[in-house]
Amino acid sequence: MSTHDFPQAVLFDHDGTLVDTEPLWELGKQRIVAAHGGEWTERDTQDTLGRPLATTVERLSALGVPGSLDEVYREFYGVLQAVLEENPPTFIPGVVPLLEDLDRAGIPAAIVTNATSEVARYTASLAPDNLFRVIIGDQEVAQGVRPKPDPDAYLEAARRLGVAPGACVVVEDSPSGAASGVAAGITTVVVPGVQQVLPGPGIVHVADHAALTLDFLRGLAPA
C-alpha cells in the first residue's frame, strides 16, 4: 500500500482526543453524586475512565444515585446535558487542520466512543460536512456492538465505512481505547491523555495533537 493510498479512513476516539470533554464528564459525575449526598473521587475517575458507559452508571449507583440502572443513566444524562449546554465543547487545538486536510483529501472519518452517541454527533456537526460518516457510541453498544477495549467497536466502524481495518488509522488517548485499536489490527496513534498509554506493538505516540498531520499519518503506511 503506497502512502498515497493510506490511510483510507481515520477512526477517532472522542473524549480527550477530539474534544476536551473529560472535565465536563467529571463535573457531571460530581454533580449527580453530590445531589444524593455522596462524593465522586479521583479513584472513581481512574476506575471508570475509558471504560464502557455502563461502568460509570454502575459506579454512580454504588455511590448512592437511586433507582434502576436505566433510571440512573437517564438522570445522569440529564445532568450531563445541562453541563454541556453551560460549556459547549470545542475541538482540541491542533485537531482542526487534520480534519480539514482529511476533508480535502476525501478521506472519511468515524468517531468511536464508549460515551454517548448524541454528544459524538454534536462534535461531528462541528467538523466539515460529511467528514464523520460513522458514529459508534452507547446507542450502537445497546444494539450489540461490543465497547472498548474489545476490538469490535473499531472493526464495526471500519466495516460501516467500507474500509479494511488495515487501511485505517485509529487516534486514541486512553489505554482501553489503544488496546481496542491494536486488537482490531489497526495502526493506533496515541495523543497525550489523562492516563498513560504504554508503548507496544501497533502503537505510535505523538507529543501533542498538532503532530497529527495527514503527512504524518501517510508516513505510517504499512510496508
Rounded Cα gap, residues 181 and 155, in angstroms: 9
Q: Which residue has the cell 478521506?
A: 107
DSSP 166: G
- Give the E-state strand segments of 17-115 in sequence order: 109-112
- Is residue 15 among the annotated active site residues? yes
> In b/e form, how buried is each residue of 110-135, taking b as 16+ CB within 10 angstroms?
bbbbbbbbebbeebbeebeeebbebb
- Cβ atoms of 199 and 205 closer than 8 Å: yes
Q: Which residue among 5, 15, 44, 103 is the active-site one?
A: 15
Q: Which residue among 13, 44, 138, 173 is the active-site one?
A: 13
- Is residue 208 among the annotated active site residues? no
Tell me the backbone φ, ψ of residue 188, rounded to 5 degrees: -120, 115
> How open is the CA angle 51-176-89, to the nearest 5 degrees?
65
- Which amino acids are annotated catalytic? 13, 15
